[in-house]
């Protein structure tokens, strides 16, 4: 069962960025020796935070402290990284960078930076012994700014791939994307590294934008319809995929409300990825509030904004991606498949 590629999606349409939220900075580190890297979302003044994990195979650090009933209220950075569990080392470099600048929670005579992290699996592209480490996290902080971050195959999205249910040889290149939504005085932004097992779809039309390809590799195979038609997927290792991201807002909300916002972020992922939250994904979203705007339009509106920003950022992650070829593996990008 094959379907033609969907009509071109306008990537050049302004979508905003997570850095449209005051108090948020983003920096990428992309390894020069193979497609992997990390991305840091900085909140130097601290931000109230929450997290929600939906995938069955997550790789995370410092997520338990973000539970609404636990003591710590604020974080100072979030790290998204490739390299599977090895990539969690990048958070140590971010802590060192923040510590050198006196940023952290006062604990006796010292300040302790709070840096939760999540990772995705990209070890099959190139030499898997090369992974993001503490130096990579430090370099991402050095590169951070409030300008719109680069999208595509950079940072945590450098080694991402999508549409792997029928084998990696029929998958396509993933990446990292960003978007923002504004209602009144409030902004919600998202940063998403998309390394999904499933396809990425246009949430407005349902058309597949990137994902599993036909056996000849020339067209898209609509994974959802194929599975429902009884086509058997390839066996997948747990944790060999995963989409991870951050939503941020300038609205003043509580830690419990940040948890709800992180849950809403997954609604946006589910609109742009199908199938989603599988046993082979570790899908994780963090939510941040910089509290720069006193009022907010209510949690229903904020959750709607978060889901929309995540869906748009996920689409942009694959539309900004470039193809990868190496070691006998070819992962075309969405833009390349459309042209062919």
Query: How many Å apart are CA 147 and CA 132, to the nearest integer?
Result: 23
62 part of a folded domain: yes
78 part of a folded domain: yes
Q: pLDDT tens for residues 109-133?
A: 999 999 999 999 999 999 999 999 9
Residue 48: closest CA among 107, 108, 105:
105
Boundaries of domain holding 281 = 18-339
pLDDT recorded at residue 13: 60
5 part of a folded domain: no
Contact (Cβ atoms closer than 8 angstroms) between residue 190 and residue 178: yes
Lowest-confidence pick of 186-190, 217-221, 336-340: 336-340
Residue 70 has pLDDT above 80, yes or no: yes
Q: pLDDT tens for residues 152-188?
A: 999 999 999 999 999 999 999 999 999 999 999 999 9
1 part of a folded domain: no
Q: pLDDT tens for residues 259-317?
A: 999 999 999 999 999 999 999 899 999 999 999 999 889 999 999 999 999 999 999 99
Query: How many Å apart are CA 24 and CA 45, to the nearest integer?
Result: 9
Pairing of strands 25-30, 37-53: antiparallel
The pair of structure tokens assigned to 333 is 């990008």
- Overall domain count for the chain: 1
Which runs of E-coded beta strand occur in 82-165?
105-107, 110-112, 117-119, 161-162
Please indicate whether residue 8 or residue 101 has the higher confidence score (pLDDT). 101
Please indicate whether residue 227 or residue 339 has the higher confidence score (pLDDT). 227
Residue 182: closest CA among 5, 7, 20:
20
Q: What is the CATH number of the domain that holds 277?
A: 3.60.70.12
10 part of a folded domain: no
Residue 55 has pLDDT above 90, yes or no: no
Which whole number is the average pLDDT over 98-114? Answer: 95
Map residue 234 onto helix, strand or coil. Answer: coil
Map residue 44 onto helix, strand or coil. Answer: strand
Please indicate whether residue 6 or residue 13 has the higher confidence score (pLDDT). 13
Which whole number is the average pLDDT over 318-335? Answer: 93
Query: How many Å apart are CA 28 and CA 189, to the nearest integer?
Result: 17
Query: How many Å apart are CA 331 and CA 270, to the nearest integer?
Result: 23
Contact (Cβ atoms closer than 8 angstroms) between residue 127 and residue 86: no
Contact (Cβ atoms closer than 8 angstroms) between residue 337 and residue 5: yes
Map residue 227 onto helix, strand or coil. Answer: helix
pLDDT recorded at residue 240: 79
Kindly report the average pLDDT of the chain as a whole number.
93
pLDDT recorded at residue 1: 37
2 part of a folded domain: no
- Angle between helical axes of 134-143 and 90-100 (0-180°, round to 10): 50
Q: pLDDT tens for residues 225-256?
A: 999 999 989 877 666 789 999 999 999 999 99
Q: Per residue, what are the HEC states of 61-84?
A: ECCHHHCCCCCCCEEEEEEEECCH
Contact (Cβ atoms closer than 8 angstroms) between residue 283 and residue 55: yes
pLDDT recorded at residue 3: 38
9 part of a folded domain: no
Contact (Cβ atoms closer than 8 angstroms) between residue 158 and residue 193: no
4 part of a folded domain: no
């Amino acid at each position: 069962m094959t379907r033609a590629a969907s009509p071109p999606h306008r990537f050049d349409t302004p979508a905003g960025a997570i850095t449209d939220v005051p108090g948020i900075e983003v920096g990428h580190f992309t390894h020069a020796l193979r497609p992997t890297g990390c991305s840091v979302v900085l909140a130097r003044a601290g931000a109230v935070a929450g997290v929600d994990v939906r995938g069955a195979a997550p790789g995370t650090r410092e997520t338990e402290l973000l539970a609404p009933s636990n003591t710590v209220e604020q974080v100072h950075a979030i790290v998204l990284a490739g390299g599977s569990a090895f990539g969690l080392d990048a958070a140590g470099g971010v802590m060192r960078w923040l510590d050198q600048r006196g940023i952290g929670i006062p604990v006796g005579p010292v300040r302790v930076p709070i840096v939760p992290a999540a990772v995705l699996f990209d070890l099959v592209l190139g030499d898997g012994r090369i992974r993001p480490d503490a130096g990579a996290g430090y370099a991402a902080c050095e590169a951070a700014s409030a300008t719109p971050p680069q999208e595509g195959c950079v940072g945590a999205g450098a080694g991402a791939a999508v549409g792997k249910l029928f084998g990696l040889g029929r998958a396509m290149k993933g990446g990292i994307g960003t978007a923002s939504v504004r209602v009144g005085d409030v902004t919600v932004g998202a940063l998403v590294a998309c390394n999904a097992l499933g396809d990425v779809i246009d949430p407005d039309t349902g058309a597949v934008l990137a994902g599993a390809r036909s056996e000849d590799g020339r067209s898209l195979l609509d994974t959802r319809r194929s599975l429902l038609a009884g086509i058997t997927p390839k066996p997948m290792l747990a944790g060999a995929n995963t989409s991870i991201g951050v939503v941020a807002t300038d609205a003043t909300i509580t830690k419990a409300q940040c948890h709800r916002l992180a849950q809403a972020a997954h609604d946006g992922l589910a609109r742009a990825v199908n199938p989603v939250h599988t046993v082979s994904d570790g899908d994780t979203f963090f939510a941040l509030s910089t509290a720069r705007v006193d009022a907010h339009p209510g949690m229903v509106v904020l959750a709607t904004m978060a889901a929309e920003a995540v869906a748009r950022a996920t689409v942009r992650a694959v539309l900004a991606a470039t193809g990868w070829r190496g070691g006998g593996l070819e992962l075309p990008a969405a833009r390349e498949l459309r042209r062919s």
